[in-house]
Amino acid sequence: AQSVAQPEDQVNVAEGNPLTVKCTYSVSGNPYLFWYVQYPNRGLQFLLKYITGDNLVKGSYGFEAEFNKSQTSFHLKKPSALVSDSALYFCAVRDTGGGNKLTFGTGTQLKVEL
Amino acid sequence: DVKVTQSSRYLVKRTGEKVFLECVQDMDHENMFWYRQDPGLGLRLIYFSYDVKMKEKGDIPEGYSVSREKKERFSLILESASTNQTSMYLCASSGLAEQNTGELFFGEGSRLTVL
Protein backbone atom coordinates (compact mmCIF):
# COMPACT_ATOMS: atom_id res chain seq x y z
CA ALA A 1 0.00 0.00 0.00
CA GLN A 2 1.15 3.51 -0.67
CA SER A 3 2.07 5.88 2.14
CA VAL A 4 3.67 9.23 2.86
CA ALA A 5 5.64 10.32 5.89
CA GLN A 6 6.09 13.83 7.24
CA PRO A 7 8.90 13.55 9.78
CA GLU A 8 8.41 16.97 11.39
CA ASP A 9 5.37 17.86 13.45
CA GLN A 10 6.32 21.52 13.40
CA VAL A 11 8.65 23.77 11.45
CA ASN A 12 9.56 27.25 12.63
CA VAL A 13 11.07 29.82 10.32
CA ALA A 14 11.64 33.56 10.37
CA GLU A 15 9.79 35.72 7.87
CA GLY A 16 11.89 36.29 4.76
CA ASN A 17 13.88 33.11 5.23
CA PRO A 18 13.48 30.10 2.95
CA LEU A 19 11.30 27.28 4.22
CA THR A 20 11.23 23.55 3.61
CA VAL A 21 8.56 21.10 4.73
CA LYS A 22 9.64 17.51 4.26
CA CYS A 23 7.77 14.55 2.82
CA THR A 24 8.89 11.07 1.84
CA TYR A 25 6.77 8.53 0.04
CA SER A 26 6.42 4.82 -0.51
CA VAL A 27 4.52 3.59 -3.55
CA SER A 28 4.77 0.89 -6.15
CA GLY A 29 4.92 2.30 -9.63
CA ASN A 30 5.00 5.95 -10.57
CA PRO A 31 3.89 8.24 -7.75
CA TYR A 32 1.24 10.93 -7.99
CA LEU A 33 2.14 13.34 -5.18
CA PHE A 34 0.35 16.36 -3.73
CA TRP A 35 0.62 19.13 -1.18
CA TYR A 36 -2.41 20.62 0.55
CA VAL A 37 -2.62 23.46 3.07
CA GLN A 38 -5.10 23.97 5.89
CA TYR A 39 -5.62 27.33 7.57
CA PRO A 40 -7.16 27.38 11.07
CA ASN A 41 -10.75 26.13 11.18
CA ARG A 42 -10.85 25.65 7.42
CA GLY A 43 -10.86 22.75 4.98
CA LEU A 44 -7.85 21.74 2.94
CA GLN A 45 -6.76 23.63 -0.14
CA PHE A 46 -4.80 22.15 -3.01
CA LEU A 47 -1.32 23.68 -3.43
CA LEU A 48 0.46 21.67 -6.08
CA LYS A 49 0.96 18.25 -7.60
CA TYR A 50 3.59 16.10 -9.27
CA ILE A 51 2.46 13.58 -11.85
CA THR A 52 5.22 13.45 -14.39
CA GLY A 53 7.76 15.69 -16.08
CA ASP A 54 9.91 18.35 -14.48
CA ASN A 55 11.07 17.46 -10.98
CA LEU A 56 10.47 21.02 -9.75
CA VAL A 57 6.78 21.75 -9.53
CA LYS A 58 5.40 25.24 -8.98
CA GLY A 59 2.13 25.83 -7.21
CA SER A 60 -0.02 28.43 -5.53
CA TYR A 61 1.15 31.29 -3.25
CA GLY A 62 4.78 31.02 -4.41
CA PHE A 63 5.25 27.47 -3.20
CA GLU A 64 7.17 24.84 -5.10
CA ALA A 65 8.09 21.22 -4.50
CA GLU A 66 11.00 19.11 -5.58
CA PHE A 67 10.44 15.51 -6.59
CA ASN A 68 13.46 13.28 -5.95
CA LYS A 69 12.99 9.72 -7.11
CA SER A 70 16.24 8.35 -5.70
CA GLN A 71 15.45 9.70 -2.23
CA THR A 72 11.69 9.05 -2.57
CA SER A 73 11.06 12.58 -1.38
CA PHE A 74 8.74 15.42 -2.31
CA HIS A 75 9.72 18.40 -0.16
CA LEU A 76 7.70 21.60 -0.18
CA LYS A 77 9.71 24.81 -0.47
CA LYS A 78 9.35 28.54 -0.63
CA PRO A 79 12.24 30.98 -1.14
CA SER A 80 10.93 33.62 1.26
CA ALA A 81 8.42 32.81 3.98
CA LEU A 82 5.55 35.08 5.00
CA VAL A 83 3.75 35.19 8.34
CA SER A 84 0.57 34.42 6.39
CA ASP A 85 2.09 31.09 5.32
CA SER A 86 1.62 29.84 8.87
CA ALA A 87 -0.71 26.84 8.52
CA LEU A 88 -0.89 23.06 8.58
CA TYR A 89 0.59 21.37 5.51
CA PHE A 90 -0.25 17.89 4.29
CA CYS A 91 1.58 15.72 1.80
CA ALA A 92 -0.51 13.10 -0.03
CA VAL A 93 -0.12 10.29 -2.53
CA ARG A 94 -2.75 8.97 -4.90
CA ASP A 95 -3.86 5.38 -4.67
CA THR A 96 -2.26 3.29 -7.39
CA GLY A 97 -5.61 1.63 -8.01
CA GLY A 98 -6.82 4.73 -9.78
CA GLY A 99 -9.63 7.10 -9.04
CA ASN A 100 -8.94 9.99 -6.75
CA LYS A 101 -8.40 8.23 -3.48
CA LEU A 102 -5.58 9.96 -1.62
CA THR A 103 -3.53 8.85 1.36
CA PHE A 104 -2.39 11.76 3.51
CA GLY A 105 0.55 12.26 5.82
CA THR A 106 0.19 13.31 9.42
CA GLY A 107 0.71 16.97 8.67
CA THR A 108 3.38 19.57 9.52
CA GLN A 109 2.54 22.77 11.35
CA LEU A 110 4.44 25.67 9.82
CA LYS A 111 4.97 28.71 11.99
CA VAL A 112 6.48 31.80 10.42
CA GLU A 113 7.55 34.47 12.89
CA LEU A 114 8.51 38.09 12.47
CA ASP B 1 -15.48 28.10 -7.99
CA VAL B 2 -16.23 24.65 -6.68
CA LYS B 3 -18.16 24.73 -3.49
CA VAL B 4 -18.38 21.85 -1.06
CA THR B 5 -20.75 22.63 1.78
CA GLN B 6 -20.93 20.74 5.03
CA SER B 7 -24.18 21.38 6.83
CA SER B 8 -22.84 21.78 10.36
CA ARG B 9 -19.55 23.34 11.42
CA TYR B 10 -19.88 22.31 15.06
CA LEU B 11 -21.97 19.57 16.65
CA VAL B 12 -22.21 18.25 20.18
CA LYS B 13 -23.90 14.88 20.63
CA ARG B 14 -24.33 12.34 23.39
CA THR B 15 -23.02 8.80 23.39
CA GLY B 16 -25.43 6.47 21.62
CA GLU B 17 -27.09 9.14 19.51
CA LYS B 18 -27.46 8.73 15.77
CA VAL B 19 -25.56 11.47 13.96
CA PHE B 20 -25.92 12.65 10.38
CA LEU B 21 -23.23 14.73 8.68
CA GLU B 22 -24.32 16.16 5.36
CA CYS B 23 -22.17 17.25 2.45
CA VAL B 24 -23.28 18.89 -0.78
CA GLN B 25 -21.18 19.84 -3.79
CA ASP B 26 -22.28 22.09 -6.63
CA MET B 27 -19.96 20.99 -9.44
CA ASP B 28 -21.62 17.80 -10.59
CA HIS B 29 -18.65 15.79 -9.33
CA GLU B 30 -18.74 12.02 -9.57
CA ASN B 31 -16.44 11.30 -6.64
CA MET B 32 -17.10 12.15 -3.03
CA PHE B 33 -15.14 11.30 0.10
CA TRP B 34 -15.40 11.44 3.87
CA TYR B 35 -12.22 11.81 5.92
CA ARG B 36 -11.68 12.30 9.62
CA GLN B 37 -8.83 14.43 10.88
CA ASP B 38 -7.15 13.89 14.22
CA PRO B 39 -4.00 15.54 15.60
CA GLY B 40 -0.93 13.45 14.92
CA LEU B 41 -2.86 11.08 12.67
CA GLY B 42 -3.54 13.34 9.72
CA LEU B 43 -6.52 12.56 7.49
CA ARG B 44 -7.91 9.07 7.32
CA LEU B 45 -10.42 7.93 4.72
CA ILE B 46 -13.71 6.62 6.09
CA TYR B 47 -15.82 6.02 2.99
CA PHE B 48 -15.92 7.18 -0.60
CA SER B 49 -18.30 7.03 -3.51
CA TYR B 50 -17.69 7.09 -7.25
CA ASP B 51 -21.33 7.33 -8.27
CA VAL B 52 -24.87 7.62 -7.02
CA LYS B 53 -25.90 4.75 -4.75
CA MET B 54 -22.36 3.45 -4.84
CA LYS B 55 -20.06 3.35 -1.81
CA GLU B 56 -16.76 1.82 -0.88
CA LYS B 57 -15.04 1.43 2.45
CA GLY B 58 -11.96 3.42 3.15
CA ASP B 59 -9.33 2.72 5.76
CA ILE B 60 -11.46 3.21 8.89
CA PRO B 61 -15.12 2.44 8.12
CA GLU B 62 -16.00 0.79 11.44
CA GLY B 63 -18.79 2.59 13.24
CA TYR B 64 -19.80 4.59 10.18
CA SER B 65 -22.09 4.25 7.19
CA VAL B 66 -22.81 6.50 4.23
CA SER B 67 -25.59 7.33 1.84
CA ARG B 68 -25.48 8.77 -1.66
CA GLU B 69 -28.99 8.99 -3.05
CA LYS B 70 -28.26 12.01 -5.23
CA LYS B 71 -25.10 12.89 -7.09
CA GLU B 72 -24.53 16.15 -5.24
CA ARG B 73 -25.07 14.83 -1.71
CA PHE B 74 -22.99 12.44 0.37
CA SER B 75 -24.04 11.78 3.95
CA LEU B 76 -21.98 10.26 6.74
CA ILE B 77 -23.93 8.43 9.43
CA LEU B 78 -22.81 7.47 12.91
CA GLU B 79 -25.38 4.87 13.94
CA SER B 80 -24.49 5.07 17.63
CA ALA B 81 -21.99 7.78 18.42
CA SER B 82 -19.13 7.01 20.77
CA THR B 83 -16.60 9.28 22.44
CA ASN B 84 -13.80 7.97 20.22
CA GLN B 85 -15.63 9.44 17.25
CA THR B 86 -15.01 12.93 18.52
CA SER B 87 -13.10 14.43 15.62
CA MET B 88 -13.04 16.83 12.69
CA TYR B 89 -14.85 15.37 9.68
CA LEU B 90 -13.94 16.58 6.21
CA CYS B 91 -15.92 16.00 3.04
CA ALA B 92 -14.25 16.26 -0.37
CA SER B 93 -15.24 15.87 -4.00
CA SER B 94 -13.61 15.56 -7.39
CA GLY B 95 -14.81 15.17 -10.94
CA LEU B 96 -13.71 13.36 -14.04
CA ALA B 97 -11.48 16.30 -14.96
CA GLU B 98 -9.53 15.67 -11.78
CA GLN B 99 -9.56 11.90 -12.14
CA ASN B 100 -6.00 11.80 -13.35
CA THR B 101 -4.67 14.69 -11.32
CA GLY B 102 -5.80 13.88 -7.82
CA GLU B 103 -7.09 17.30 -6.91
CA LEU B 104 -9.77 17.17 -4.25
CA PHE B 105 -12.05 20.02 -3.22
CA PHE B 106 -12.73 20.09 0.50
CA GLY B 107 -15.51 21.45 2.62
CA GLU B 108 -14.83 23.55 5.72
CA GLY B 109 -15.17 20.60 8.05
CA SER B 110 -17.59 19.53 10.77
CA ARG B 111 -16.19 19.35 14.27
CA LEU B 112 -18.08 16.70 16.21
CA THR B 113 -17.87 16.30 19.96
CA VAL B 114 -19.43 13.21 21.52
CA LEU B 115 -20.04 13.46 25.26
Contacts of A5 in chain B (CB under 8 A): none
Nearest chain A CA: its distance from B43 CA (Å) = 6
| Residue A9 contacts B where some CB pair is shorter than 8 Å | yes
* pLDDT score, position B2: 67
Q: How far apart are CA B10 and CA B51, in angstroms?
A: 28
Q: Residue A93 and residue A27: Cα distance in Å, rounded?
A: 8
Which residue ranges of chain B lie beneath pLDDT 50? Answer: none
Check residue B99 and give its pLDDT: 67
A positions 71-110 inside 8 Å of B (CB): 90, 92, 94, 99-107
Query: Do the Cβ atoms of B4 and A49 come within 8 Å?
Result: no
With H, G, I as helix, E, B as strand and everything else as coil, classify residue B84: helix
pLDDT digits 0-9 by tens, A27-84: 888 889 999 999 988 889 999 999 888 899 999 999 999 999 999 999 999 999 999 9
Per-residue pLDDT tens for B15-41? 999 999 999 999 899 999 999 999 989
pLDDT the model gives residue A97: 67
